[in-house]
Amino acid sequence: MLKTICFFCKKKYTIDRSDTQYQRILKNPEASYVCKSCNQSMQKEAQTSTGLNPGDIDKYDKYLR
Ligand SMILES: [Zn+2]
């Protein structure tokens, strides 16, 4: 278990091996952690700024198959 603070919302989190960022922070305690909710809002922002939304990606995916 590791105690860390989210880079964006500054909330304290305790993460374990099940967290995808655990190994990274274990190796480098200075690495910044991004919690799941901030991660999701970042992904939404990325979708907005690229003009893509999950529906479009889905259509594109079907087209490729
Ligand atoms: Zn956060």
At 35-57, the pLDDT tens digits run 999 999 988 888 888 776 666 65
| Mean pLDDT of the region 7-19 | 95
- Tell me, what's the pLDDT at 54? 60
One-letter amino acid of 50: T
- The Cα-based distances of 25 to 10, 37, 53 in angstroms read 16, 18, 30
- Centre of ligand 1 to C-alpha 44, Å, is 14
- Centre of ligand 1 to C-alpha 51, Å, is 24
The structural domains of the chain, with segments of one domain joined by +, span 2-64
- Centre of ligand 1 to C-alpha 58, Å, is 28
- Tell me, what's the pLDDT at 51? 77
- Tell me, what's the pLDDT at 60? 57
Q: Which residues contact 25 (CB under 8 A, 6 or more apart)?
A: 2, 4, 15, 31, 33
